[in-house]
């Protein structure tokens, strides 16, 4: 009888241990899936921030070229080509903005991104060079405001997860960006 009770206790202990292991492994696997999903979203957000900044920079350059080509000859092929390129760059910038909005729940960051797009769009409407310079500067400041806000968001999130995100920022994103088109 003593042997049977000992055997039942051993079997019950084994079953209880197996059940506990199953529950703990399930919880750990679920947590790992959530962390992996969070990391993928984080990487997508970083890519969206960078893509948007790059798209706005390209768009601003094409808007400046468009403005100058129009002053040279509003019906000439160089202007038509510059306008076409500018419209293509605007399409790319809008696509980057929509992706950013899909991935980023921060209303302020989305507002800053929209302001950067609007300021850049207005460059080609400038009536003279001083107004174009002023609008290009406004576009640059709007983009830098977006980049600074995104950088703050990245730093805040990185400080929450210092181990997994320690290599996220390699450069100071606050450094001024030089616009080759003026």
* Domain of residue 151, CATH code: 1.20.120
Instruction: Establish if 5 belongs to a structural domain.
Output: no
- How large is the average pLDDT for residues 145-156? 93
Q: How many domains does the chain have?
A: 1
> By percentage, how much of the chain surpasses pLDDT 90?
60
Structural domain boundaries enclosing 149 = 40-160
Q: Is residue 19 part of a domain?
A: no
Residue 27 pLDDT > 60, yes or no?
A: yes
DSSP assigned state of 76: S
Closest CA to 144 of 119, 165, 123: 119
Q: What are phi and psi of 108, to 5 degrees?
A: -65, -40
Question: Does residue 20 belong to any structural domain of this protein?
Answer: no
Q: Does 122 map to a domain?
A: yes
Report yes or no on 182 lying in a domain.
Answer: no
Residue 66: its H or E element: helix 2-72
Residues shown for the chain: 182
Q: Is residue 92 part of a domain?
A: yes
Asked if residue 97 belongs to a domain, the reply is: yes
Interval 96-116: pLDDT, tens: 999 999 999 899 999 999 999
Question: Between residues 33 and 108, which one has the greater pLDDT?
Answer: 108
pLDDT-derived band at 161, boundaries 50, 70, 90: low
- Domain annotation covers residue 21: no
- Lowest pLDDT segment from 55-69, 85-99, 106-120, 164-178: 164-178
> Could you read off the pLDDT of 13-23 as tens digits, one per residue?
888 888 888 88
Q: What local confidence, expressed as pLDDT, does residue 24 receive?
A: 82
Residue with the larger pLDDT of the pair 31 and 66: 66
Would you say residue 135 has pLDDT above 90? yes
DSSP letter string over 86-152?
A: HHHHHHHHHHHHHHHHHH---HHHHHHHHHHHHHHHGGGG-SSHHHHHHHHHHHHHHHHHHHHHHHH
């Amino acid at each position: 009888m003593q042997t049977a009770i000992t055997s039942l206790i051993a079997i019950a202990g084994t079953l209880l241990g197996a059940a506990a292991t199953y529950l703990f492994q399930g919880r750990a696997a679920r947590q790992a899936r959530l962390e992996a999903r969070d990391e993928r979203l984080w990487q997508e957000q970083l890519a969206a921030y960078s893509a948007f900044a790059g798209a706005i920079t390209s768009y601003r350059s094409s808007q400046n070229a468009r403005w100058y080509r129009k002053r040279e000859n509003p019906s000439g092929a160089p202007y038509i080509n510059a306008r076409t390129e500018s419209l293509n760059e605007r399409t790319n910038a809008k696509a980057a903005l929509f992706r950013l909005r899909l991935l980023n729940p921060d209303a302020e960051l989305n507002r800053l991104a929209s302001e950067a797009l609007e300021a850049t769009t207005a460059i080609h409407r400038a009536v003279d060079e001083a107004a174009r310079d002023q609008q290009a500067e406004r576009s640059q400041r709007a983009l830098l405001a977006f980049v600074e806000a995104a950088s703050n968001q990245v730093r805040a999130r990185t400080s929450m997860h210092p181990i997994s995100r320690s290599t996220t920022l390699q450069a100071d994103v606050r450094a001024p960006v030089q616009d080759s088109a003026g």
